[in-house]
Amino acid sequence: MEETILELKNIVKAFPGVKALNGIDFNLKSGEVHAICGENGAGKSTLMKVVCGVHQPEEGTMSVNGTLVEFHNPMEAYEKGVSIIFQETSLFEEMTVLDNLFLGHEVSKKVGLISVIDYETMRHKANEIFQRLNTEMNLNEQIKNLGVAGKQMVEIAKALTFNANIIIFDEPTACLTQREVTALFQIISNLKKEGFGIVYISHRLEEIFEMCDRVTVIRDGQYISTKAVKNTNKDELVAEMVGRKMGSYYPKTETEIGEEIFRVKGYYDDGFLDNISFHVRKGEILGFAGLAGAGRTELMESVCGFTGHAAGEIHLDGKKIEIRNYKDAKSHGIVYVSEDRGKYGLITEMSIEQNITLPQLKNFANQLSLLDRKKEGEVGAEYIQEIGIKAPNSRFLVKNLSGGNQQKVSVAKALALKPKILILDEPTRGVDVNAKAEIHRIISELTQKGLTIIMVSSELPELIGMCDRIYVMKEGRLVGCFDREEVTQEKILALELESERV
Amino acid sequence: MINKKALTSEAYLGLFLMLILAVLGIWAKGFYSINNVISLLNAYSYILIASIGMNMIIITSNIDVSTGALISVVCIVIAAFGKIGLPFGLLLPIAMLAGVILSTLNGLFITSLKIPAIVATLATTQIFQGVLPLVVEGSIYDLPASFTWLAFDAKLFGMIPLSLFMCLIVTVVFILFMRYSRFSKKLYAIGNNRTGARLSGINVNKTIVQTYAIAGALFGITAVIIATAGQRVTTTMGSGLEMTFIAAVVLGGTNTAGGSGRIFGTVIGALILAVIAPAINYLGISPNWSDAIKGTIIIVSVVVSTAKYRKRKRKLCMSAE
């Protein structure tokens, strides 16, 4: 009965610059739910993408139902019995439920010499599957008209059309309501009884203890441990997920912290951000921790006026201010550095100095509204010097810089606006260790010059090393705040993972 | 399988068409004369056949602006063969083959060389159009009666032009093809979500080239109908027609972003466009207005379709909580 149906040995997967997976072992038995947990970026999703053929591993072997396999796309994986329900759905929005279920493996029949799609059989099979899942589904509905739970149900049904016996759920409950979660758990436990092997990835520890039989922890792409759920507890799992001891390479220098400078009160936006209030004092580095999707970026973008539709009060220097758009924010000295510098932050086809002056071209124009190239060059050179951008000169194109130096250009561009409050969203994402340390040094120096910094980061050691205070966000709300003295990774993670749903 | 929403948007289009036809019945004297209806249906045939090809291309989220020039080339090719007396039974397959070759070229530029469809087909427009004057001096003329057989002699029951019958066959075949072939599912999948399609094991590039090839065959049929209408074939027979085809497709409810749209919509869209030019004539409006009115109709339909498209995307999680 309990046979191993999926076995991974020593899986290694590298992306340019990072080893995303470094020697992962994993096995799954039939009739069990096996959880994989780890912090943001530990490699959970990457591992599953390797399993189902989205990525191909550099090293390691994988066997499914007893035979060694190599997958080049999810279709091959499906056919061998491995199906995955992705975090972001991979369905085709304009097509019907039925077409989606059988896409790429439509049932066909011969009419004379021509083979045509056999809708009758497909419809019959689909109805059977949805009955098994105990779900009502209109097979003619277009996917775009379904809710998140409906889409997920279609994905599960799709897995069953292949006769897969291994189903991978990647954060399936992230967007579901309590009632939908209960329904999903019922389905999962039915599948388990039918002998399916289920891999379950989730941030929510409660769910792991409620649903799963075994749990494997991975951290920084490394395999850490596999345990039976009944032989472990939350604290032990959290400790294993965090693992590393705090390094001392965060050059946090003591700064003088002044009066409160910025306060957000009772902030709401379109039903996601929920009653958020926080404040920052002058010279402080304020951190925002939270899992992916907790709403940190949304909060910052909303505060800076990118999204509109927000309610709540913002006070600067004790005075209430209105921020309707980013221009308002900038004029009040609030400047935002986006987490995705490639997409929103920098124009990589332009030079360093052009990027720096872009948000304030008015200040670099002469009487004829032509750009003052000389002045541009001076400012470019000034910032290259000041924050140590490694480039031959300020005319250098941004696309030719390394990730770390691009990030410095982003920061320079923000600093050139002479902000009072600088909001950095994931300032060290995708940069190497040295550049990271340098960016941390720059942040520290800036606060010494009296700048106030709000920093969003998914890396807890970075937040703990750099920040004076850390707010923890979850599902659009603030769920806690720690001072520098009392904070530990375990405390933050415990808050992040705590679920009030169960 | 018919979706409620799609039904209503096509129903609206149908109503719009009826309205035009009713207005013409009341105010345009002679619009419903046999001669006019037959010439209108002839134009409709070639517009619809090519528009079906264009529709398939647009469903994959690509485009072809070289169709007009491509048709000009095919017209000249069959005129050359017609001049030596080849019958219609041979001209048709030759035209389709020529269409397939030229259109496949477009598909290969787009997929193998990774040139965006609009750029690739703009370039081939210039090439197709540019080569003709080098080969032919203005036109091929004094074509024999065997060449114009389709336009003048091929009538069913002594009245219905064969071209209309060809159009009917093509339409029925492609409505069935887009419903019952596995290939058609690939087109929609690619137009919806290219990466998703690739991950579903679909060979995206191959499918796109095949789509252009199929469309090319249809462009070839259109070229035959256009070329054989008279004894003289010029080098610009197809100029500008691509806009009519694209308009018919867009009017028929196919989203230019790809992934949606059905042949039935194109059937109505093409009819509206085929009616406009003669309608303007019979209503006593200067024919110079024809293009402007077509353009206005395109703008309105594109605005309506993109408004629908924008509405549908909102952040998943936000609405779910």
CA separation for the pair A396, B138 (Å, rounded): 53
Residue B312 pLDDT > 50, yes or no? no
CA separation for the pair B43, B51 (Å, rounded): 12
Name residues whose C-beta falls within 8 Å of residue A111's C-beta, 6 or more positions apart in sequence: none
Q: B3 — alpha (psi -120 to 50), left (phi > 0) or beta?
A: beta
Name residues whose C-beta falls within 8 Å of residue B118's C-beta, 6 or more positions apart in sequence: B63, B65
Nearest to B320 among A74, A115, A148 (CB): A148
pLDDT over 90 for what percent of chain B? 49
Taking CA atoms, A362 is separated from A372, A412, B205, B306, in Å, by 10, 18, 46, 35
SS3 letters across B19-33? HHHHHHHHHCCCCCC
* β-pair type (A273-281, A260-269): antiparallel
Which phi and psi (to 5°) does residue A252 adopt?
Answer: -70, 120
Question: By 3-state DSSP, what share of chain B in percent is helix, strand and coil, each rounded to 5?
Answer: 75, 0, 25
What domains sit in chain A, N to C, each tagged with a CATH number? 4-242 (3.40.50.300), 261-333+419-497 (3.40.50.300), 347-417 (no CATH)
Specify the pLDDT at position A150: 87
Specify the pLDDT at position B34: 84
Taking CA atoms, B234 is separated from A272, B183, B231, in Å, by 64, 37, 10
**Nearest residue of B to residue A86 by CA position?**
B196
Name residues whose C-beta falls within 8 Å of residue B3's C-beta, 6 or more positions apart in sequence: A96, A140, A141, A142
Q: Is B316 on the interface with A (CB under 8 A)?
A: yes
Kindly report the nearest CA distance between residue B258 and chain A, in angstroms. 9
Q: Is A91 on the interface with B (CB under 8 A)?
A: yes
**Nearest residue of A to residue B202 by CA position?**
A104
Kindly report the nearest CA distance between residue B274 and chain A, in angstroms. 29
pLDDT tier, B161 (very low <50, low <70, confident <90, very high otherwise): confident
pLDDT one-digit tens code per residue, B191-239 = 998 888 888 888 999 999 999 999 999 999 999 999 998 889 999 999 9
Specify the pLDDT at position A392: 83
Q: Is A175 on the interface with B (CB under 8 A)?
A: yes
Taking CA atoms, B318 is separated from A86, A264, A295, A297, A502, in Å, by 18, 21, 10, 13, 21
**Structural tokens at position A491:** 């405390």
Going by C-alpha positions, the residue among A113, A119, A172, A120 that lies closest to residue A148 is A172
The C-alpha angle A263, A339, A429, rounded to 5 degrees, equals 120
Does ipTM top 0.85? no
Specify the pLDDT at position B1: 41
Q: Do B193 and A147 touch (CB under 8 A)?
A: no
Q: Mapping DSSP to helix (H, G, I), strand (E, B) and coil, where does residue B187 land?
A: helix
Specify the pLDDT at position B316: 37
Specify the pLDDT at position A494: 84
pLDDT one-digit tens code per residue, B60-112 = 999 999 999 999 999 999 999 999 989 999 999 999 999 999 999 999 999 99
Q: Which residues of B touch A177 (CB under 8 A)?
A: 320-321
Specify the pLDDT at position A199: 94
Q: DSSP secondary structure string, A30-61? A: TT-EEEEE-STTSSHHHHHHHHTTSS--SEEE
Going by C-alpha positions, the residue among A454, A490, A458 that lies closest to residue A220 is A458
Nearest to B312 among A144, A147, A176 (CB): A144
- The residue type at B132: L
Full pLDDT tens readout for chain A, 502 residues = 578 899 999 999 887 666 788 889 999 999 999 999 887 667 888 888 899 888 889 889 999 988 899 888 888 888 888 988 876 667 898 899 999 999 888 888 888 888 899 999 999 999 999 998 888 899 999 998 888 888 888 988 988 888 888 999 988 877 777 788 888 898 899 999 988 999 998 877 788 888 899 999 988 888 989 999 888 888 888 888 877 544 445 667 777 888 889 999 888 887 788 889 999 999 899 999 988 778 888 899 888 888 777 788 899 998 999 888 888 898 999 999 988 776 678 888 889 998 999 888 888 888 888 888 888 889 899 988 888 888 888 888 888 887 788 888 999 999 998 899 999 998 887 776 677 888 888 888 888 888 999 999 888 888 888 899 999 998 888 888 999 888 888 888 888 877 554 3
Kindly report the nearest CA distance between residue A81 and chain B, in angstroms. 14
Going by C-alpha positions, the residue among B309, B75, B45, B305 that lies closest to residue B165 is B45
Q: Which residues of B touch A149 (CB under 8 A)?
A: 320
Nearest to A104 among B192, B201, B316 (CB): B201
Q: Is A94 on the interface with B (CB under 8 A)?
A: yes
Q: Is A271 on the interface with B (CB under 8 A)?
A: yes
Going by C-alpha positions, the residue among B69, B10, B42, B41 that lies closest to residue B242 is B69
**Nearest residue of A to residue B203 by CA position?**
A104
Nearest to B317 among A92, A103, A293 (CB): A293
- The residue type at A405: N
Is the distance from CB of A36 to CB of A200 less than 8 angstroms? yes
CATH for B24-305 (1.10.3470, 1.20.120, 1.10.150, 1.10.287): 1.10.3470
Specify the pLDDT at position A234: 80
Q: Which of B175, B179, B317, B319 to mutate to test the interface with A (most CBs of A within 10 A)?
A: B317
- The residue type at B24: L
Nearest to A95 among B188, B199, B316 (CB): B188
CA separation for the pair A220, A42 (Å, rounded): 4
pLDDT tier, B308 (very low <50, low <70, confident <90, very high otherwise): low
**Structural tokens at position A481:** 């705040």
**Nearest residue of A to residue B317 by CA position?**
A175
Sheet of strand A18-29, all strands in order from the earlier edge strand to the far edge: A18-29, A4-15, A59-64, A67-68
Specify the pLDDT at position B61: 94
